[in-house]
């Protein structure tokens, strides 16, 4: 009888261990000013590898103000500027206190989580102002390379439950030389961004407890660009990319639903999204609800303007 009891206990423990849930962790990789079509054209072996386990789109859009302040506020809060009230890069008279960012929500719902943000555009700290750790260095001071090294070390060696890493250099190259793949400097920064993504994936895979973790990797940009600027409604300014990758995600690319001709230099008013087949592509507002749903945080109470892309997993 004693032997039988020992056998039953061992069997129970084995079954429990097999079905034990892995620890969920999230990494958000933000990059400023990268057009989706430019990213698709550039050689990006690390992103291509990431997309093998991702819902992704190079046709994704910023359907709001194509400026960094409102753009990143949209991404991190999941709501339009008529709610968070960030309409430019000045961050005056905002309503961000009533529309918390994803790291704040995660910390509120899961106080045990370690949250961190690494960034090189200082106003990101205005949005992510409640992260447990914030590391910033101005992009003009070699910031991207600096925060990248720190983020690598952090992701490998720390708890790193929910982490944001932001890069600015592609946007700077676009303003100085043009937001087009034909501009060598812009092309070069996109290629460098892909290397950064590969390094961050290596850092995660080097974690001592990686086998017992389930990771969600989300990446997007706040806007694209037209010639050397952004802020308007050209398709090239609205066009971004969205990647939602994970250990258990089947690769799925989302494209616009028709081939109605539209060029990057053409304007794309929001009222014409359906006309050109963009009505179902991911938007920057989808990031927040996607991350929160992955972490099993109820999203219905935040009045998000986007949707969780995790719902797409179950579709045939």
Task: Report all structural domains of the chain as residue ranges with CATH numbers, in order of start.
Answer: 23-314 (3.40.720.10)
Are the CB atoms for 198 and 245 separated by under 8 Å? Answer: no
Helix (H) or strand (E) holding 162: strand 162-167
Q: pLDDT at residue 251 above 70?
A: yes
Angle in degrees, CA 104, 302, 158, rounded to 5: 25
3-class SS at 196? helix
- Which pLDDT does position 11 carry in this prediction? 44
Residue of 89, 90, 71 lying closest to 33 (CA atoms):
71
Q: pLDDT at residue 226 above 80?
A: yes
Distances (CA, A) of 33 to 84, 85, 188, 249: 21, 21, 13, 27
Per-residue pLDDT tens over the stretch 266-289: 999 999 999 999 999 999 999 999
Q: pLDDT at residue 184 above 60?
A: yes
HSE of 217 in the Cβ direction (CA atoms, 13 Å)?
26
- Which pLDDT does position 128 carry in this prediction? 98
Burial class of residue 95, CB neighbours in 10 A (0-12, 13-18, 19+)? middle
Residue of 91, 103, 57 lying closest to 241 (CA atoms):
57
Which residues have a Cβ under 8 Å from the Cβ of 231 and sit 6 or more positions away?
65, 66, 67, 237
Per-residue pLDDT tens over the stretch 15-38: 334 436 899 999 999 999 999 999
Helix (H) or strand (E) holding 219: strand 213-221
Q: What is the pTM of this model?
A: 0.92
Q: pLDDT at residue 314 above 50?
A: no
- Which pLDDT does position 6 carry in this prediction? 46
Distances (CA, A) of 309 to 5, 48, 97, 230, 283: 46, 19, 25, 27, 10
Q: How far is residue 128's CA from residue 173's CA, in Å, rounded to a whole number?
A: 25
- Which pLDDT does position 20 carry in this prediction? 61
Confidence of residue 109 (pLDDT cuts 50, 70, 90): very high
Which residues have a Cβ under 8 Å from the Cβ of 85 and sit 6 or more positions away?
93, 94, 95, 96
- Output 297 or 8, whichever has higher pLDDT: 297
Among left, alpha and beta (phi > 0; psi -120 to 50; other), residue 46 is alpha
Segments in 133-168 forming alpha helices (H) = 143-157
Are the CB atoms for 121 and 68 separated by under 8 Å? Answer: yes
């Amino acid at each position: 009888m004693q032997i039988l009891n020992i056998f039953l206990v061992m069997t129970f423990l084995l079954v429990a261990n097999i079905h034990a849930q892995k620890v969920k962790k999230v990494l958000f990789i933000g990059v400023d000013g990268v057009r989706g079509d430019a990213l698709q054209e550039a050689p990006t072996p690390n992103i291509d590898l990431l997309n093998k386990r991702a819902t992704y789109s190079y046709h994704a859009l910023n359907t709001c103000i194509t400026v960094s302040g409102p753009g990143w506020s949209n991404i991190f809060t999941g709501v339009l500027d008529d709610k968070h009230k960030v309409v430019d890069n000045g961050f005056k008279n905002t309503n961000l206190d009533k529309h918390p960012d994803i790291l704040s929500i995660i910390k509120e719902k899961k106080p045990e989580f370690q949250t961190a943000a690494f960034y090189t555009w200082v106003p990101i700290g205005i949005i992510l102002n409640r992260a447990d750790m914030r590391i910033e260095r101005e992009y003009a001071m070699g910031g991207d390379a600096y925060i990248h090294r720190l983020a690598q070390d952090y992701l490998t060696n720390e708890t790193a439950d929910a982490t944001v890493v932001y890069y600015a250099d592609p946007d700077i190259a676009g303003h100085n030389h043009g937001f087009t793949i034909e501009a060598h400097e812009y092309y070069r920064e996109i290629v460098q961004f892909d290397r950064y993504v590969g390094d961050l994936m290596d850092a995660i895979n080097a974690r001592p407890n990686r086998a017992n973790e389930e990771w969600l990797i989300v990446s997007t940009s706040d806007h694209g660009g037209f010639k050397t600027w952004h802020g308007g409604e050209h398709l090239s300014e609205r066009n971004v990319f969205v990647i939602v990758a994970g250990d258990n995600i089947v690769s799925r690319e989302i494209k616009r639903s028709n081939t109605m001709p539209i060029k990057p230099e053409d304007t794309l008013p929001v009222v014409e999204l359906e006309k050109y087949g963009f009505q179902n592509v991911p938007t920057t507002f989808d990031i927040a609800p996607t991350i929160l749903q992955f972490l099993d945080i109820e999203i219905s109470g935040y009045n998000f303007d986007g949707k969780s892309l995790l719902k797409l997993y179950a579709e045939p």
